[in-house]
Chains A and B, each alone.
Chain A
């Protein structure tokens, strides 16, 4: 009898936990999409692929479509039929392989899907505590869940962002561009610096490695050296080594003039009590909710900071910022790059 009760208790406990698993946040992959939903997902993935191909200036073929979406041999043709039926695809005839081209409607639809995807990523980045590595994969599933009206509402809620956390522009009614400009990181000469414009989110495992090195769009990096295995860069007072694969996924802007590439910065967390410094950069690797708090406190570039009081355990440390004593944890202070002021005589 008692054993039965014990088992029942354990089961009910488990059920409760499962019931209340983060339901508020996008659950990610929809476990069992209906067949109608499955078709929609396929259609939308195909549209994205075709738009990408168009913008890259390539001509898409049925084979490539099948390969990219992981379809079997005949399925590609079926998909094209479905797309054409919906007025999304033009199959320009001609001898040999038909050329796949999107209709204007098709392009609009594709842009809608991309827009939804990027807005979801922005939401996940700014309004949740989820890890960077989870944004893309969850957005990939969520992009198929909204109508254009709902997407617009999402955009409104986020303040109509112009770019997603990877640096890609969010297409809108008036802005049709979906690709981000820029050049590969490795195109820089050693010693040159530039701003990171975009970090490619696929393949995911590469993105994760890049994110783990705390690199984010908006940061300034300086190329120190290049080699067969990869390259060495300097950013925000630290050096990182990137493999060729990783470097290939980082897009930067045009090289900046020397004086705009700041060097000689250290993370705030490295300073000893009593030192004064001026904030130069609040790293983009810091998540949005935390950046907003920093803005409230007045911790922005140009602010003078004094290191005043470490806690008994060493973390957090209290800093005097604009007349107020504020405690920051070590991992937060590491994202604030400062320039040391000379010690008072």
Chain B
């Protein structure tokens, strides 16, 4: 009889069935330290503030092995000891439903920290206690930090700290980390806990319903028999009954990890031999049977029990005094989200932000370009000349690399330096989630999340920053939609081109006193078109490519808090402006070199640029553009800011007009007349201008944004989609407009 044949499953399995990661004991770098401190807590409770307070600058970030979860580690010392602090990812529980929870759980269970500091939010104790109670099942070397005490005081919430301490059986340290209050006491308590000076009186806090209690106790007893040194047998039993793969595997492997755990609790099992395979087998069978009898409700019942205990403790130890402050918050909320005032307020704030950005950026922009381009640039040329460098070298370095970078910086920096801090102020205050709240119904209809409104507006500052900002959207599908459509927000770098073309070509169609208004309206129209497109593409994506992706909606409305002005300015400048600027420079520099090269390197007797333009012209004309424009967009992928200067440069190159600064050197025309002269020489018509405005809105994202998309999604496929979708759409739109134009308008227009 033929042997039982398993035909091999498809090699390219549709499911990412990668090998379950080997249970890695998190390997920390070899740093000399006496104790290891783990820092845990919910997201947004000020855990990082505490971490920064403890470690100051002595910290570095990286990734947890095999995961994309960031990991921060640092050190601090007291008089007698050195401590290493590991900042665990912020999680709501340890049930290991996500990579974050898995990392935190693994470290606490298998990494055996000497002290675990759990940071709670004083204003939301009930919810935070969930994680703490789960941690207390694993280890009792815990120090509880109740942070944001200043917030609590403001809201009239009073906590009975000594009572909390007696309930939990571990030390509790109240802190207001933002104001550095409580730090000394925390360090003292950590030291006392690490050295064993503090007496811990852990007690069972979670009362389980009988239906769960019996099987858990059975399993825990069985475990304890096999591993006498095990202190967390109850928690491990809970996880085993929950089908936790890693704990199960640790069990079946039998030895290394669980012994490590037993050893880690510093009660050496002495000479006890490891459990027999048959005993392990029997344990596994028992557990399997218990699991099937418990059924799929297990996890729910467990979490309910933990929350019940958390409620009880929080209720007992919290005293609310109804102070007017709390009601002030509520009245403000009612106004901001009312039918009458909600939308007008939003619109007004948006207009103010944009107006401040545009008008505020003009002066610094001209200052910067005056400095970098009018002063430093000739200076650099002079130096190169005096040093005797060959023309091509100074060409590439100064005319190419330096000039392009200087251009990008002077155009990009001032608006961002204004836009982002303004945005961050609103965010800090707590207003932005209300915007998402008000607009969610619009976004829901196209399958997106209300928070996309925020990333969309952010994209008007800079698309790369908008893409990074999508981290606020937790749901994977909605996040992808926000990332892919962000490009349709008209970013800062594209405004100058839009304004220029609108005033030159559209404003000139109407009498002079209307010109300003009409060209402004044209630009606004393009921006609105971009928003409409982002809705349309969102709808399209959610119906086709992203159908079936996981999606869930949550939106938290944090309490209003007075924004910390200097801190906000500092973080928004460092986090958003400088980092994006840095990436832009990194991409713009080589781009500048390329631009100079294609204009100056000759193939045959004509510069490379001319050959390429000639090849692209037919395609360009069919789109209502031309070869020069297409080449400019290709070459200027790194930065939208230099598209117009590149077009000017290439036009003068190909039409033999002669540029004021030399071959292949970017420049900006001095007057309206000069612009018009160059554009006319290049064969531009009204159609060209309109299509360039449209294409500028609907083309591939700049390379900084592409890079950001890749870092945020971690997927080549989606980066490709995000890059190609807009440009293909752009070709389609310009093509159709050109066809329509030629069909409707008489030639010669």
> Are B440 and A315 neighbours in the complex by a CB distance under 8 Å?
yes
Q: In the assembly, what is the distance between CA of A107 and CA of B285, in Å? A: 20
Closest Cβ neighbor of B19 among chain A residues: A153
Residues of A within 8 A of B310 (CB): 298
> Are A159 and B242 neighbours in the complex by a CB distance under 8 Å?
yes
The answer, among A16, A40, A123, for a CB contact under 8 Å with B7, is A40
Residues of A within 8 A of B304 (CB): 300-302
Closest Cβ neighbor of A130 among chain B residues: B548
Spot the interface stretch: A18-26, A203-211, A259-267: A18-26
A86-B248 CB under 8 A given contacts A25-B548, A302-B311: no
Residues of A within 8 A of B728 (CB): 9, 12-13, 16
The answer, among A129, A169, A293, A329, for a CB contact under 8 Å with B549, is A129
Spot the interface stretch: B295-303, B452-460, B642-650: B295-303
Mark interface residues in A83-103 (1 if CB within 8 Å of B CB, else 0): 011111000000000000000
B61 located at the interface, meaning its Cβ lies under 8 Å from any Cβ of chain A in the complex: no
Interface residues of B (CB under 8 A from A): 1-10, 13-17, 19-20, 92-93, 95, 97, 123-127, 130, 242-245, 248-249, 284-285, 288-289, 291-292, 294-297, 300, 303-304, 307-308, 310-311, 330, 333-334, 337-339, 342-343, 437-438, 440-441, 444, 450, 474-475, 477, 544-559, 618-619, 622-623, 717, 721, 724-725, 728, 731-732, 735, 738-739
> Are B296 and A161 neighbours in the complex by a CB distance under 8 Å?
yes
Closest Cβ neighbor of B124 among chain A residues: A323
A64 located at the interface, meaning its Cβ lies under 8 Å from any Cβ of chain B in the complex: no
Residues of B within 8 A of A311 (CB): 337, 437-438, 440-441
A154 located at the interface, meaning its Cβ lies under 8 Å from any Cβ of chain B in the complex: yes
Contacting residues of chain A (312-334) with chain B, CB-CB under 8 angstroms: 312-316, 318, 322-329, 332
The answer, among B92, B126, B288, for a CB contact under 8 Å with A175, is B288
Residues of A within 8 A of B242 (CB): 159
Residues of B within 8 A of A289 (CB): 475, 550-552
> Are A142 and B557 neighbours in the complex by a CB distance under 8 Å?
no
A6-B553 CB under 8 A given contacts A22-B545, A312-B337: no
Closest Cβ neighbor of A34 among chain B residues: B7
Q: In the assembly, what is the distance between CA of A235 and CA of B622, in Å? A: 63
Closest Cβ neighbor of B297 among chain A residues: A218
> Are B127 and A298 neighbours in the complex by a CB distance under 8 Å?
yes
Q: Which of A177, A314, A323 has the most CB of B within 10 A?
A: A323
A-B contact sample (6 more), CB < 8 A, given A2-B738, A40-B7, A309-B334: A10-B732, A86-B3, A159-B243, A159-B244, A300-B303, A332-B553
Residues of A within 8 A of B13 (CB): 145-146, 150
> Are B732 and A9 neighbours in the complex by a CB distance under 8 Å?
yes
A174-B289 CB under 8 A given contacts A9-B732, A147-B6: yes
A179 located at the interface, meaning its Cβ lies under 8 Å from any Cβ of chain B in the complex: no
> Are B557 and A318 neighbours in the complex by a CB distance under 8 Å?
yes
Report the minimal beta-carbon distance from A284 to chain B, rounded to whole angstroms: 9
> Are A326 and B295 neighbours in the complex by a CB distance under 8 Å?
no
Report the minimal beta-carbon distance from A304 to chain B, rounded to whole angstroms: 9
> Are B5 and A86 neighbours in the complex by a CB distance under 8 Å?
yes
Residues of B within 8 A of A316 (CB): 437, 440-441, 450, 553, 555
A213 located at the interface, meaning its Cβ lies under 8 Å from any Cβ of chain B in the complex: no
- A-B pairs, 5 with minimum CB distance: A160-B243, A296-B92, A327-B555, A313-B441, A325-B557
Contacting residues of chain A (270-320) with chain B, CB-CB under 8 angstroms: 282, 287, 289-290, 292-293, 295-298, 300-303, 308-316, 318
Residues of A within 8 A of B739 (CB): 2, 6
> Are B618 and A1 neighbours in the complex by a CB distance under 8 Å?
yes
Q: In the assembly, what is the distance between CA of A127 and CA of B304, in Å? A: 22
> Are B552 and A156 neighbours in the complex by a CB distance under 8 Å?
no
Report the minimal beta-carbon distance from A244 to chain B, rounded to whole angstroms: 28
A243 located at the interface, meaning its Cβ lies under 8 Å from any Cβ of chain B in the complex: no
Closest Cβ neighbor of A87 among chain B residues: B1
> Are A323 and B126 neighbours in the complex by a CB distance under 8 Å?
yes
Closest Cβ neighbor of A287 among chain B residues: B552
A5 located at the interface, meaning its Cβ lies under 8 Å from any Cβ of chain B in the complex: yes
A17 located at the interface, meaning its Cβ lies under 8 Å from any Cβ of chain B in the complex: yes
> Are B124 and A324 neighbours in the complex by a CB distance under 8 Å?
yes
Interface residues of A (CB under 8 A from B): 1-2, 5-6, 9-10, 12-13, 16-17, 20-27, 36-37, 40, 84-88, 105, 109, 123, 127-130, 142, 145-148, 150, 153-154, 156-157, 159-163, 169, 172, 174-175, 177, 217-218, 282, 287, 289-290, 292-293, 295-298, 300-303, 308-316, 318, 322-329, 332
Closest Cβ neighbor of B304 among chain A residues: A300
> Are B14 and A145 neighbours in the complex by a CB distance under 8 Å?
yes
Q: In the assembly, what is the distance between CA of A313 and CA of B439, in Å? A: 9
Q: Which of A85, A162, A301 has the most CB of B within 10 A?
A: A162
16 contacts across the A-B interface (CB closer than 8 A):
A12-B728, A13-B728, A22-B545, A22-B548, A129-B550, A146-B13, A162-B294, A163-B296, A217-B296, A295-B303, A312-B338, A315-B444, A322-B127, A324-B556, A325-B557, A327-B440
> Are B441 and A174 neighbours in the complex by a CB distance under 8 Å?
no
Report the minimal beta-carbon distance from B608 to chain A, rounded to whole angstroms: 24
A148-B6 CB under 8 A given contacts A300-B303, A323-B123: yes
> Are B437 and A157 neighbours in the complex by a CB distance under 8 Å?
no
The answer, among B130, B311, B544, B549, for a CB contact under 8 Å with A17, is B544
Q: In the assembly, what is the distance between CA of A2 and CA of B241, in Å? A: 67
Closest Cβ neighbor of A128 among chain B residues: B548
Q: In the assembly, what is the distance between CA of A129 and CA of B330, in Å? A: 35
Report the minimal beta-carbon distance from A226 to chain B, rounded to whole angstroms: 28
Report the minimal beta-carbon distance from B17 to chain A, rounded to whole angstroms: 5
Residues of A within 8 A of B124 (CB): 322-324
The answer, among B1, B245, B292, B738, for a CB contact under 8 Å with A85, is B1
> Are A312 and B342 neighbours in the complex by a CB distance under 8 Å?
yes
Report the minimal beta-carbon distance from B402 to chain A, rounded to whole angstroms: 38
Q: In the assembly, what is the distance between CA of A141 and CA of B127, in Å? A: 43
A20-B444 CB under 8 A given contacts A123-B15, A162-B291: no
Q: In the assembly, what is the distance between CA of A324 and CA of B7, in Å? A: 54
> Are A297 and B17 neighbours in the complex by a CB distance under 8 Å?
no
Report the minimal beta-carbon distance from B161 to chain A, rounded to whole angstroms: 17
> Are A21 and B544 neighbours in the complex by a CB distance under 8 Å?
yes
Closest Cβ neighbor of A28 among chain B residues: B14
Q: In the assembly, what is the distance between CA of A292 and CA of B285, in Å? A: 29
> Are A174 and B285 neighbours in the complex by a CB distance under 8 Å?
yes
> Are B245 and A156 neighbours in the complex by a CB distance under 8 Å?
yes
Residues of A within 8 A of B7 (CB): 36-37, 40
> Are A329 and B444 neighbours in the complex by a CB distance under 8 Å?
yes
Residues of B within 8 A of A147 (CB): 6, 8-9
> Are A129 and B477 neighbours in the complex by a CB distance under 8 Å?
yes
Q: In the assembly, what is the distance between CA of A224 and CA of B70, in Å? A: 55
Residues of B within 8 A of A174 (CB): 284-285, 288-289
Residues of A within 8 A of B126 (CB): 298, 322-323
Q: In the assembly, what is the distance between CA of A315 and CA of B444, in Å? A: 10
A303-B307 CB under 8 A given contacts A322-B126, A326-B555: yes
> Are A329 and B553 neighbours in the complex by a CB distance under 8 Å?
yes
Residues of B within 8 A of A303 (CB): 307, 311
> Are B550 and A128 neighbours in the complex by a CB distance under 8 Å?
yes
Q: In the assembly, what is the distance between CA of A322 and CA of B334, in Å? A: 20
A17-B550 CB under 8 A given contacts A302-B311, A311-B441: no
> Are A26 and B550 neighbours in the complex by a CB distance under 8 Å?
no
Residues of B within 8 A of A287 (CB): 552
A297-B311 CB under 8 A given contacts A86-B4, A154-B15: no
